[in-house]
A and B are shown apart, each in its own frame.
Chain A
Amino acid sequence: MISKAKRYARMILLMLSLLSLSGCWSRNEVEDLAMLTGGAIDYSSEKGQEKYVGQWLIISPPSSSNSDGGASSSKSADLVYKGEAKTFMESITDLNKQLPRLQTSSHVIFTIYGENLAKTATAKVAENLLRFPESRPNQLLFVTKGNAGSFLQAKPVLVSNLFKQIKKQEEIALRTGVSRGVTLLEFCQWLLSPDRDPVLPQIKWNNGNQSNSLLIEGFGVFRSDKLIGWLDKDESTGYLFLTQDLKDGIMPFKFGYGSQMITYHVGASKHKIKAKWVNGKPVFRITIQTLGAIPETANFQITTKDVSKIEAAAAESVRVKALKSISKAREYDSDFLGLMQHLHRYEPLAWKEVETDWRKAFRQAEIEVEVQAKIVTEWALTQSFDLKD
């Protein structure tokens, strides 16, 4: 009898364990999901009424994109859907009304903030994105002038989907020194840190009108959680040199040499910040080292004697951009360069003195930039063209 009872108990246990094998409670098969791959969120508030408009890219499943029988369908595989509501969460679930599948945000690659949203409700939306268990910490954030929605209509070029294009373009933007991708995690780190202001890369249309080509160029600068201004191309390059160690760069810098303009092609750079506390204000000494080539010499013959002269001129051209970026930081009163963060980390005693009013300390800070540009090659030619009259 006992053995029988035991056997029953075992059977029941086994059956119960089957419960856990059948999968999770609220499981969804892949066929029932609509994968969001990117989004653009706009925000407006009129008469105290907030409105979030989220437009989301949904990757269309292969079966429907091949419905016309050929693999060579010219249609984009992306579908754009729009959700509107008074809160952000509601605007996302608003999508579901229009779709036969449940949307999931676990594959979101990028999110674009509209200008209004970035000026007013950045922190709210960023917190929501981070709070949602499905969201990925590595999704990219962008900001744009005006409304963000239209960017999702862009036709991807050379790749099949818009999210692929944006992801690749962001990598290239870093190499060419015009912008760089900022992940949700990084943005939240900056947002929450007591000593640094965030930036987000700017996405825009070529020539300003809604043509076919997307640009990722420049940055939107935040002060705390409010968008307050923009960095143009030169200032963005300066920002990248001041905050990042770059490699595999393809960044051209033009500068005058003699009567001609020539180009310094930067391949790699390193930066070093030294913070000091002198006479009640912080002094930052930033050294940037660059390695590069002179591929365009305007038919000069460069000799070893000239190199140091050209290097100095090239360094100046890099320095000018860095200084532009710093003066923008002062203008916006936003320390997106992370200088005060550096002070906090390496000179904690000095930070203690300015902690309560660190923005004032940043305004008073002395910032010196020194650039050491090195020219290592002039590429494949040893002799410049020596033309006959």
Chain B
Amino acid sequence: MLLFIVMTSTAILFIPGLTATTGKQNAWLVSLGAGISSFGVLIISAKLAQRFPGLTIAEYLPLIVGKIGGKALAVSYILFFTVLNILVVRETSEFLTVSALFGTPGIPINLVFVLICWYSAQKGIEVIARMNQFILPLFVFAYLMACILAIPKADPSSLLPILEDGISPVMQNIWIPVQWYGEIAVLLMLIPLMNKPQEALKKASYAVISTMLLLTFGSLAVLTVLGADVAGQMIFPIWFTVKTIEYGNYIQRIELLVLPLWLTGIMVKSSLLFYVTILAARQSVSRKHPKLITASVMVIVFSGATFLVPNTMALLEFLATYWPSVSLLFEVVLPLLLLAITLIRKKKGGCMQ
């Protein structure tokens, strides 16, 4: 459940727009294909975790590649999670300033957002999980309601022709959404915390499947209501799709009802990322000053989200061109390498529970 919201919450805001720009009317196939290929990420992470039961990636990295290399990799993973979190916070404030809080500078939004998420992350994984239990149904409900209410406005023929230029444009675009699905790599840190780590693969694949279905459904809604040409122009097409919903004088302007529910979803995601970052930092860097570490993570994320990206254009360019390769490196390539090394060296470790 946690993983599901991690992947869906921000992906739904950006994916339809980013993929429709290049994938046109086949953008929904892109999200579907990306979902399928993200099973690869999942399997890699789960296998890796099975080799080292009870240990997180920050703990077993030194076991695989030696002490210095392990530390370096662990630190880079911490950086990766931090940057991911920075992006999440920044995406949220971008979305808010474009949609509801028009005119509000990013600083207060970021500050409030970061403080809340950081606070819940400090309270531990259980708090986040419980929070998620409460929020998830609302999130899914809001999401489905938005999509279903938009159905009468939909024009299915705008999905035609399917695969106009063959399958290759779809394949080329898959790597954009894969980064969002790939966020399932937080599993590398989370599996040891599960009650039943053996079931991790099964549970996580449920998450991937439901994410895939929901994202595809969302892309379909966006494409049929707005059409690929308009959707490709938009920064948040799903927001605009919800805006088109209008039934007489009664059901209209529902976007502001849906918005808080989306926001809470993103909040869970950010909290989880905070938690993972802090945990990894504690395990690999130092166990001595936990408070210092958590505080500095917060400051870094806040200032990064506020000052690192100058404007929306830069954020989108970063998300579409540079970030995919970076995130794929951490989400797919590195875990795969690690798995290969362990298989070759037949390493096993960790405390058996």
Contact = CB atoms under 8 A, between A and B. Distances in A.
A-B interaction: yes
Given A189-B226, A193-B227, A345-B160, A26 B116 contact: no
Contact of A24 (B100, B115, B158, B226): B100
Contact of A19 (B102, B112, B230): B112
Interface string A342-386: 001110100110000000000000000000000000000000000
Contact of A134 (B102, B119, B227, B233): B102
Interface stretch (B32-40, B79-87, B240-248, B299-307): B240-248
B101 A192 contact: no
B164 A26 contact: no
A16 interface: yes
Contact of A13 (B119, B157, B160): B119
B161 interface: yes
Contacts of A16: 111-112, 115
B198 interface: no
B76 interface: no
B102 A26 contact: yes
Nearest to A137: B244
B244 A133 contact: no
B105 A137 contact: no
Contacts of B102: 26, 133-134
A192 B230 CA distance: 7
A355 B104 CA distance: 45
Interface residues of A, number: 26
B126 interface: no
Interface residues of B, number: 28
Given A344-B161, A348-B161, A185 B104 contact: no
Interface in B77-118: 98-105, 108, 111-112, 115-116
A189 B227 contact: yes
Contacts of B240: 137
A20 interface: yes
Contact of B160 (A20, A133, A346): A346
A239 B349 CA distance: 74
Given A137-B244, A192-B229, A24 B104 contact: yes
A137 B243 contact: yes
B164 A348 contact: yes
Q: Is the interface of A mostly helix, strand, loop or mixed?
A: helix
A17 interface: yes
Most buried by B among A136, A185, A352: A185
A13 B226 contact: no
Interface in B143-198: 157-158, 160-161, 164
A346 B244 CA distance: 27
Nearest to B115: A16
Contacts of B116: 17
A26 B161 contact: no
B170 to A, nearest CB: 15
Interface string A242-283: 000000000000000000000000000000000000000000
Contact of B230 (A133, A189, A348): A189
A301 interface: no
A312 to B, nearest CB: 31
A192 B233 contact: yes
A137 B101 CA distance: 19
A150 interface: no
Most buried by A among B98, B100, B119, B230: B230
A188 interface: yes
B115 A346 contact: no
A296 to B, nearest CB: 34
Nearest to A131: B233
A189 B229 contact: yes
B230 A185 contact: yes
Contacts of A185: 226, 230, 244
B104 A26 contact: yes
Contacts of A24: 100-101, 104
A345 B243 contact: no
A137 B230 CA distance: 11
Contacts of B111: 16
A171 B230 CA distance: 25
B168 to A, nearest CB: 15
A13 B103 contact: no
Nearest to B242: A137
Nearest to B24: A194
Contact of B99 (A13, A133, A138): A133
Interface string B118-145: 0100000000000000000000000000
A352 B161 CA distance: 11
A143 to B, nearest CB: 20
A137 B246 CA distance: 10
Interface string A317-360: 00000000000000000000000000011101001100000000
Given A193-B229, A346-B161, A26 B103 contact: yes
Most buried by B among A13, A25, A138: A25
Which 8 A-B residue pairs are closest in the complex by CB-CB distance?
A25-B104, A26-B103, A348-B161, A192-B229, A345-B160, A189-B227, A24-B101, A137-B244
16 contacts: A13-B119, A16-B112, A24-B101, A24-B104, A25-B108, A26-B104, A137-B243, A185-B226, A185-B244, A189-B229, A192-B230, A193-B227, A193-B229, A346-B160, A346-B161, A348-B160
Given A19-B108, A345-B158, 6 more contacts: A17-B112, A25-B103, A185-B226, A189-B229, A345-B161, A346-B161
